[in-house]
Amino acid sequence: MKFLGIRFFAGGLLVMALALVEAQPQSEDESGARTKILALENVWNNAEKAGNAAALGLILDDAMVYIDEDGSLLTKAQFLEHAKQAGPELLTLVTDAMSVYVYGETALVAGTYRVSGTARGKPFRREGRFIDTWVLKNGSWMCVAAQATPLR
């Protein structure tokens, strides 16, 4: 029961952070766009680790395409279901070396990630690179495509 309370608290913090990012006007320069997108990337990490599909759903475009580490192609709905189920198994989800490249109303985020946890009762640890594509739609940055590539 304590874990469930922590999850709801963490989910509330994620929604509040997302609301703060979205409440600011989107007519800022590239620096402002980079700051907002990095904040959204952090919201993504925290939501995925908590298995919070509702928070993830707010930042992922309905037509989002995700290419997973194993090469599978996931829709937004499939990715959210995967995150919901895998979230409780994650112990760590850390992104590093993130760079944001802004091209008008489109931005790319490239970086590295480390994730560890348990799956089917067995511990795992993975590292990889990722690239996320964000588009400014109706005043909000939305992720429209993402890919994770494992490093061996």
- Structural domain count of the chain: 1
Asked whether residue 139 carries a pLDDT value surpassing 70, the answer given is: yes
Q: What is the CATH number of the domain that holds 68?
A: 3.10.450.50
- Mean pLDDT over 48-62 rounds to 95
If you write DSSP's letter for every residue of 31-63 in order, what string do you get?
HHHHHHHHHHHHHHHHHHHHT-HHHHHHHEEEE
0.85 exceeded by the pTM? no
Confidence at 105, pLDDT banded by 50, 70, 90: very high
50: domain range? 2-150
For residue 28, what pLDDT is reported?
58
